[in-house]
Amino acid sequence: MSTIAQHGLAANAAILPSAQTLDHTLRDASPAQVIETALKLVGREKLALVSSFGTESAALLKVMAGVDPAIPVVFLDTEWLFEETLAYRDTLIAALGLRDVRSIKPQVEALSRQDPDRELWFSDPDACCRIRKVEPLARALKPFSAWLNGRKRFQGGARAEIPVVEEDGDKLKFNPFANASREEIEAIYKLAKLPSHPLVASGYLSVGCMPCSSRTAPDEDARAGRWRGRPKTECGIHTTKTS
């Protein structure tokens, strides 16, 4: 029996349960159950998974593919990504049978106006993230009522207290791996024989854009290599409302 049926939640996308109700209902649900619930609530046409195709992305994509490989996947191609990340995206699409991956790029006009010399990442990384990630994602998510992402509490920082379901403007935002441990993520990779991101072997435990990603020492947090030396810890897509 589905999680929705078990708890009597409305499956009518026009009358969605509140994020608080869903978070309470799904607090102990498995990642697959969280995705199944989101899919039943809003339907495939209104649900998207946002993936960076980074070092831990394959686990969530694998679980999603087991539920429905045709759920749209939004990938933000910032035009500052490692070639290894672009290759990894293509590898996972083929390996997992993903049927609808949409690569979204920043607007050319915004780049030419605000970052003509491609140096904005150095002088104002928040502005760089805004035009290369935040604004493109808001544009990409406009047709959707809910979205899935791969944040986990064990990643620490602002992510340490994330709920399983939260409000994101007028959308529902599902965090299927909120409760997952690092060991559970590793087990998914091992069981499914998922390929690792090519840069993991070189010491990159978290990979974003090239200028703002660096190798991580064994005793550091996995995300310590992101925006190293700056107070910045998030690109903005999880701290800015998408509606």
Identify whether the C-beta of residue 57 lies closer than 8 Å to the C-beta of residue 50.
no
User: What does the angle CA 5 – CA 74 – CA 135 come to, to the nearest 5 degrees?
Assistant: 115
Identify whether the C-beta of residue 61 lies closer than 8 Å to the C-beta of residue 95.
no
Backbone phi and psi for residue 111, each to the nearest 5 degrees, phi listed first: -65, -45
Q: Which of 128, 129, 212, 235 is catalytic?
A: 235
Q: How far apart are CA 189 and CA 110, in angstroms?
A: 38
Residue 233 per-residue DSSP state: -
Does 129 qualify as catalytic in the annotation?
A: no
Q: How far apart are CA 162 and CA 226, in angstroms?
A: 20
Residue with the two structure tokens 């290759």: 87
Residues across the chain: 243
Identify whether the C-beta of residue 125 lies closer than 8 Å to the C-beta of residue 228.
no
User: What does the angle CA 33 – CA 37 – CA 43 come to, to the nearest 5 degrees?
Assistant: 135
How would you classify the pairing of strands 146-148 and 73-76? unpaired
Distances (CA, A) of 190 to 62, 184, 196: 12, 10, 10
Active-site residue set:
235
